[in-house]
Amino acid sequence: MDHNVLTRPVLDFHCHTLISDGELGPAELGRRAFVNGYKVLGLADHVDHSTLEHTLTSALIAVRALTHFGVSILAGVELTHVPPDQIEDLVVWSRELGAQFVVVHGESPVEPVAPGTNLAAIEAGADILAHPGFLTREEAALAKKRGVFLELTARGGHSLTNGYVAKLALEEGVNLLVNSDCHDIGDILTPEKQRLVALGAGLSQEQYVAMMERAGSWAEYKLKDGLE
């Protein structure tokens, strides 16, 4: 096996801090992520209409302050349990407020997410649809058209449909990401754990490498876009 595959740095765009329901502050999360082999860390705390502005403001402050850890940090949000007919407005507002990426909490099989959330997120052009559960083939095809990444998650429960999501995404040519959905220290990925989540979902080594290269290019674009 190619050693470079095993040591490929972690790209993780779905991490929570104590700003919402995570265990760690952004500084500690950033330091621990660096030690674990991260190259890119995406802060994506849970938000709805009532919490979006102050949560994203905190994330943006963290990104500007934490430039010395050796890991690139992106400020995003995860729209969580938002009514489907409000998702598009919140995606637009998030970007107007400076979010570098927007995640939508998809229709996980282990949470009572409102039906129609997956489709609304894709139609709104969210960057990442997290743990989308049993999304339809039509939704997957639209995700490809809209450039939405589908998430393979390392988080227990949500991960039950990883194999289904991976198979459908590969058949429809949709971009995939492996994210941690990190809430505590034990959730922080390593390069090997990220690889195993992908392989466990049914990806080959070659498909895993291609997935990571696409994710890396997307991250570079987001980082180059930068913060004004």
Strand partners, 105: 130
Give the pLDDT of residue 224: 78
CA neighbor of 20 nearest in space, from 33, 7, 29? 29
In the chain, what are the domain boundaries? 3-225
CA neighbor of 43 nearest in space, from 64, 66, 65, 59? 59
pLDDT tens per residue, range 39-64: 999 999 999 999 999 999 999 999 99
Give the pLDDT of residue 180: 98
Give the pLDDT of residue 138: 98
CA neighbor of 162 nearest in space, from 109, 116, 93, 215? 109
Give the pLDDT of residue 228: 41
Give the pLDDT of residue 152: 98
Tokens describing residue 130 = 């997290």
Q: How many CB atoms lie within 10 A of CB 144?
A: 15
Q: Is 69 exposed, middle or buried (0-12, 13-18, 19+ CB in 10 A)?
A: middle
Return the CATH fold of 3-225.
Answer: TIM Barrel (3.20.20)
Residues of the chain where predicted confidence (pLDDT) is lower than 70 = 1-6, 226-228
**Helix (H), strand (E) at residue 107:** none
Give the pLDDT of residue 147: 97
